[in-house]
Structure 1
Amino acid sequence: MKKQLTKSRDKIVAGVFGGIADYFGLDKAWVRILGAALIIFTGFFPGVLLYIVAAIVMPDAPTRSNTMDGHYRKKD
Structure 2
Amino acid sequence: MATKKLYRSPRGKIFGVCTGLAEWRDLPVEPVRWIVFFTVIFTGFFPGAIIYLLAALVIPMNPADSVYGNGNGHYKDDEDPRTDDDLQSEYERLKKKVEKMEGDIFNKERDWDDRFHDGN
How high is the TM-score relative to the length of structure 2? 0.51
What fraction of aligned residue pairs are identical, expressed as a percent? Answer: 35
Uncovered stretches (5+) of structure 2, i.e. residues with no partner: 68-75, 82-120
* Partner Cα distance (1:56, 1:42) in 2: 20
Cα RMSD, aligned residues only:
1.9
One-letter code aligned to 1:58: I
Larger radius of gyration: 2
What residue in structure 2 maps to residue 50 of structure 1? 51
Question: Aligned equivalents of 1:19 and 1:61: distance in 2?
Answer: 8
Deviation at 1:68, TM superposition (A): 6.6
Q: How many residue pairs get matched?
A: 68
Counting only pairs closer than 5 Å after superposition, residues 1-76 of structure 1 correspond to structure 2 as: 3-62=4-63, 63=65, 65=76, 67=79
Whole-angstrom CA distance in 2 between matches of 1:19 and 1:45: 22
Return the offset for 1:40.
0.3
Partner SS state of residue 14, structure 2: coil
The structure with more strand, counted as a fraction of residues: 1
Structure (1/2) with the larger helix percentage: 2
TM-score w.r.t. the length of structure 1 is 0.79
Say which structure, 1 or 2, has more relative contact order (CA 8 Å, 6+ apart): 1
C-alpha deviation, 1:67, in angstroms = 2.9
* Structure 1 consecutive aligned stretches of length 4 or more whose deviation exceeds 4 Å: none
Q: Using the alignment, how far apart are the partners of 1:52 and 1:68 within structure 2?
A: 33
* 1:26-64 CA-partner distances (Å, limit 9, x unpaired): 000000011000100110011000001000000001236
1:38–1:68 Cα change, 3 Å: closer
Distance 1:68 1:46, change over 3 A: closer
